[in-house]
Structure 1
Amino acid sequence: MTPRRLRELCLEQNAAVEDFPFGPDVSVFKVAGRMFALSDLAATPLTVSLKCDPDEAVRLRAEYPAVVPGYHLNKRHWNTVTVGQLPTRMVRELIEDSYDLVVAGLPKAQRLRLDRP
């Protein structure tokens, strides 16, 4: 997967935006001002940090060497994924799951604006 494709997958999420609060090298993808993905798109290997259900995070880390606790993030709720070592479909699903977890934590009024009650 290319950095361009990773960016596209993140921005395909409803109302997702790319921001650079940590400097020009780190893309932060947000919905309603809350982060759901974080990546240095120029890094090698290409990685992305994604929010994850804590039980699922542990399972993924045990099953896939490409999934490790979130780098500089709450390791209970975030994983860092080496993108090229997993199928594209799985990376897409992990991005969608991260986005859905963040949206689920939004106030009801914001979720309704996103068409996600």
Structure 2
Amino acid sequence: MDIEFFRNFCIAKPGVTEELPFDNETLAFKVKGKIFALTHIDNFVSVNLKCDPEEAVKLREAYNSVKAGYHMNKKHWNTITVNDDMNDKELCRWVNHSYDRVVSGLPAKLKKELQSQ
């Protein structure tokens, strides 16, 4: 997977924006203002994704490329190394999970706005 595929996959989801909220290198994907994915804009070697805490531990145990979230709440975030061994389909599934986790925590009004998009 390359940065353009990842970017297009993320921004195709309803209500998603992309921003550089921390610096000129860290690209954040947000749904209704809440981050669900982060990556380095120029050096696409890893992504940070939100995850159910129990699932996060299982993924870390099952995959060498999945670690506790770098500079993130390690209970709720994983950092996934993107390399030739990483299955694009799995990574897309994890992006979907992250997006869904964030959406599930949104207020009802924002969820309703997403449904109409």
Q: Is the TM-score greater than 0.5?
A: yes
Give percent identity, aligned residues only. Answer: 40
**Whole-angstrom CA distance in 1 between matches of 2:73 and 2:63:** 19
RMSD, aligned α-carbons:
1.2
Deviation per CA, 1:30-51, whole angstroms, max 9, x where unpaired? Answer: 011000000003226x110000
The one-letter amino acid of 2:112's match is L
SS at match of 1:114: helix
Aligned twin of 1:7? 7
The one-letter amino acid of 2:34's match is R
TM-score by length of 2: 0.94
5+ residue gaps, structure 1, are: none
Please report how far the alpha carbon of residue 3 of structure 1 lies from its aligned counterpart in structure 2 after TM superposition.
Answer: 1.1
Following TM superposition, where does structure 1 have runs of at least 4 consecutive aligned residues deviating by more than 3 angstroms?
Answer: none
Aligned twin of 1:39? 39
Deviation per CA, 1:11-35, whole angstroms, max 9, x where unpaired? Answer: 1211111000111111000011000
TM-score by length of 1: 0.94
The one-letter amino acid of 2:82's match is V
The one-letter amino acid of 1:112's match is K
5+ residue gaps, structure 2, are: none
Q: How does 1:1-117 map to 2 (within 5 A)?
A: 1-43=1-43, 46-84=45-83, 85-115=85-115
The one-letter amino acid of 1:92's match is C
